[in-house]
Structures are given as C-alpha cells and as structure tokens.
Amino acid sequence: MNCERFVVSSAVVPQPLTGGSNVTTTFVDMNNRVHYSFLVQVGALAGSKGVKVALLGANADDGTDAAVIGDTTYTAPESGSSGRMIAVRGRVTPNYRYLAVRVSNLDAASATTAAVALVSDGLHVPDDNGITVLQV
C-alpha cells in the first residue's frame, strides 16, 4: 500500500515583473510535509539581464519574522533568454514552519514575467544543498 502524497499548487499565477520589482508567494505551511520544490518560471529576459530567487523561512504564517534561507541569481546570456525554469528544493526542517519564494527583477529598465508552483511530498527526496538552477 502506497501512502505517499504528491501535491501541486499554484503559489503565484503568472504576473509581470517590471523593472526592479519583485513578487513573493504566500507563506506555505510545511507542517506534515517532508520535502518541497518551488518551481519558478521566468519569462523572456533581455541580454545580460537577470532575476534573483530567494527562499524565505518564517514561523509566523504571515511571514513577519521571515529570513532568507538561501538565494540564487540567473543572468541571461548576451543574446537574451526566452525563459528559464528555476527549482528551489529541499527537505522541510524544524527551523521554519512556513516557506515562501521571492522573485526579483534585477534590472531597473526591462520587464519580464514570473509564475511559481509548489510541488511537495513526491517520490523524489532532493539533496539538502540548497537551490538548483535547471535548464529549460
């Protein structure tokens, strides 16, 4: 009998990231979850422009005590990028009950889009070494 759960939910619907702006998911309750993957889809980026993705942890459901657990930056090649998938994954620890992801546009002049989905408690338990950038 297989009792494992596999949950996929939208954390941020696709929305624009104008120059220098950011978007943060709601803080997701990780109680009774073993591991997670936040899948961040970033739209087209102009050449040499980038985004920063940060994993936030909190013990308050509204994130008032949030801290950055880890982050990564993606910079498009000089020819530009038509999109990028960034996976933020790990095991739930007792340090933070609530997790969220913040996506920031690092360029003040150009815009892109971002969407975030949460996948948790699947069959694959990822490494505990932080954030992984995946090629689309």
DSSP code string of 108-123: SS--EEEEEEEEES-S
Give 29's strand partners: 98
- What is the structure's pLDDT at 122? 45
- Residues 54 and 113: beta-carbon distance below 8 Å: no
Class of domain 7-134: mainly beta
Task: pLDDT tens for the chain, 136 residues: list them.
Answer: 344 456 677 788 899 999 889 999 999 988 878 888 899 999 999 999 999 999 999 999 999 999 999 999 999 999 988 889 999 998 888 899 999 999 999 998 889 999 999 887 644 444 444 554 444 3
Hey, where are the domains in the chain?
7-134
Q: What Cα–Cα distance (Å) separates residue 19 from each residue in 10, 31, 39, 45, 99?
A: 24, 35, 22, 11, 25
